[in-house]
Amino acid sequence: MSLFDKFKNKKNKEEKGLMEPENMFVPSELPLAEQGETEKLETPEMEKVSPEPEKVQTEALKKEDDPLNFVERMKKSLSKTRENFTGKIEALIKNNRSLDDDFWEDVEDILIQADCGMKVTMNLVEKMKQTAKKNKIKESSQVLNIMQEEIANIIGRESMVINWAASGPTIIMVVGVNGVGKTTSIAKLAYRYKKEGRKVLLAAADTFRAAAIDQLQIWADRVGVDMIKHQEKADPGAVVFDALSAAEARKADILIIDTAGRLQNKVNLMNEIGKIRRIIERERPDAPHEVLLVLDATTGQNAVSQAQVFLEVSGITGIVLTKLDGTAKGGIVLALAQELNIPLKYVGIGEGLEDLRDFSPTVFAKALMYSDKAALEN
Ligand SMILES: Nc1nc2c(ncn2[C@@H]2O[C@H](COP(=O)(O)OP(=O)(O)O)[C@@H](O)[C@H]2O)c(=O)[nH]1
Ligand SMILES: [Mg+2]
């Protein structure tokens, strides 16, 4: 049985409801611990995902001077995915020069392994077959070009920008489970908007641990923007309320709100996000202007399940996909585009302040599919 068939079987089981729904989510990232067991939640695993500010700052300083251009930088950060995806297709082309059924089946397996997901794989291979037929292509070596175009088509819309407020501060809420890169992405966004000449204010509404507030403060100082904070365990709603007034009073152009990603359980987490949202809506009927869901590319298909949970409750307007640099599972970009009707707005490609880029389908497809010509020759 090919890998693709196995996947199909699994998918059929899911569709028939044979799998436990909790298997679809990532329990380790949203633990269903008992209420009040806060001690238990402060696990070493949590420490592992928090950056050491010193190290991050030095890294950031180094990377700010990165001379590589956009496509080159993207190529570099996608190198693991490229190896696992385009590299394997190149190897296949070398071994199978004709576009027969075996060839397409092997392409399917490669796409599944790169976390493109079932729908994308079926869709992509079907489109490639059609194009190959239409253009009377017989040689497998031409498949890479077709694929690059089809990938850009699947991902769709080009350069989705932020929905700026017509007047007053633009309010951006940032949500996602613990460790995905919310705080780091907020720092990167703040850095970028400040560089564009906008006045940025941050709100530390992840009051779950003192360290989370400190971490955002370090970034705020580093970038040189103001931040509104309360004590650890304070009501996040109160932080947001204060931040909204401060944003008006200080004539900020943009307020970015950090939120907690780990509460006692999923219901608590969603309630807290809902509450913050309602406070924003009450104070500013036109806001929040963006609710950005941060997803970690290294979690592969789990990122899709996470997104589905958040989509149910929090009115997500865009996705920030982090850690593309650290994964061979970059096919997740395609799965997210296909499965969710939410634009991928930014991608994280490193730990430095400049390592957050506007997402462009064509640049992504180009960086992923660039062909190492030598690899195709003998
Ligand atoms: N390599 C890489 N690491 C990242 C990226 N974004 C975030 N991280 C790291 O992921 C870890 C968790 O980030 P953090 O912002 O604390 O996550 P949060 O819990 O969602 O706020 C930190 O070590 C970050 O440096 C990225 O795009 N690439
Ligand atoms: Mg955080």
**What average pLDDT does the segment 16-30 reach?**
35
Nearest one of 332, 345, 344, 373 to 115, comparing CA atoms: 332
Regarding the beta carbon of 270 and ligand 1, being less than 6 Å apart is answered no
Residues, Cβ < 5 Å to ion ligand 2: 182-183
Does the CB atom of residue 322 touch ligand 1 within 6 A? yes
> Does 16 score more than 50 pLDDT?
no
Q: What is the pLDDT of residue 5?
A: 55
Tell whether the model's pLDDT for residue 206 goes beyond 90: yes
Return the minimum-mean-pLDDT range out of 248-252, 279-283, 300-304, 321-325.
300-304
Q: Which of 1-5, 158-162, 172-176 has the highest mean pLDDT?
A: 172-176
In the prediction, which pLDDT does 337 show? 87
The pLDDT tens digits for 163-173 are 999 999 999 99
Q: Is 211 in the pocket of ligand 1 (CB under 6 A)?
A: no
At a CB cut-off of 8 Å and minimum separation 6, what does 362 contact?
152, 158
DSSP 95-139: H--B--HHHHHHHHHHHHHTT--HHHHHHHHHHHHHHHHHTT--B
Q: What is the pLDDT of residue 352?
A: 93
Q: How far is the CA of 1 from the centre of ligand 2 (A)?
A: 43
CA of 345 to the centre of ligand 2 (A): 19
| % residues pLDDT > 70 (the chain) | 78
CB 218 less than 6 A from any atom of ligand 1: no
Per-residue pLDDT at 243 exceeds 90:
yes
Specify the range with the lowest mean pLDDT, choosing from 40-44, 301-305, 316-320, 347-351.
40-44
**Per-residue pLDDT tens for 124-151?**
999 999 999 999 888 888 888 888 888 8
Please say if the pLDDT value at position 160 is more than 70.
Answer: no
Q: Give kind and range of the element (H or E) at residue 284.
A: none
pLDDT at 260: 92
Strand 344-348 and strand 356-358: the pairing is antiparallel
HSE-CB of 117 using CA atoms within 13 angstroms: 21
User: Is residue 54 pLDDT above 80, yes or no?
Assistant: no
Phi, psi of 227 (to 5 degrees): -140, 140
**Starting at the edge strand that comes first in sequence, how are the strands of the sheet with 344-348 ordered?**
226-228, 200-205, 254-259, 170-175, 290-296, 318-322, 344-348, 356-358
pLDDT at 100 (0 to 100): 87
CB of 213 sitting under 6 A from ligand 1: no
Comparing 58-72, 109-123, 340-354, the range with the smallest average pLDDT is: 58-72
pLDDT of the residue at 212 = 94
Q: pLDDT tens digits, residue range 247-295? A: 999 999 999 999 998 766 788 888 899 999 999 999 999 999 999 999 9
CB of 261 within 6 A of ligand 1: the answer is yes
Q: Give the residue from 150, 161, 124 showing the smallest Cα distance to 365.
A: 150
Per-residue pLDDT at 378 exceeds 60: no
Strands 226-228 and 254-259: unpaired
| pLDDT confidence of residue 37 | 32
The answer for residues whose C-beta is within 8 angstroms of residue 31's C-beta and 6 or more apart is 41, 262, 264, 265
What is the average pLDDT value for the chain, to the nearest integer?
A: 81
Query: SS3 for 84?
Result: helix
Q: Return the percentage of the chain with pLDDT > 90, whole number.
A: 44
Strand partners, 322: 296
Return the ligand 1 atom nearest residue 188 CA: 6
Q: pLDDT at position 220, please?
A: 98
**Cα separations in angstroms, 157 against 64, 86, 271:** 28, 23, 32
Which residues, 6+ apart, have CB-to-CB distance to 347 below 8 Å? 320, 321, 322, 324, 333, 356, 357, 359, 364
The maximal CA–CA distance of the chain, rounded, in angstroms, is 67
Nearest ligand to the CA atom of 206: 2
| Nearest ligand atom owner, CA of 294 | 1
Judged by its nearest atom, the ligand closest to the C-alpha of residue 209 is 2
Phi, psi of 258 (to 5 degrees): -85, 140
- Over the stretch 328-372, which tens digit does the pLDDT of each residue have? 888 899 899 888 888 899 999 999 999 999 888 888 888 888 766
Ligand 1 neighbourhood includes 318 CB (under 6 angstroms): no
Task: Please choose, from the candidates 357, 355, 352, 356, the residue with its C-alpha nearest in 3D space to the C-alpha of residue 55.
Answer: 352
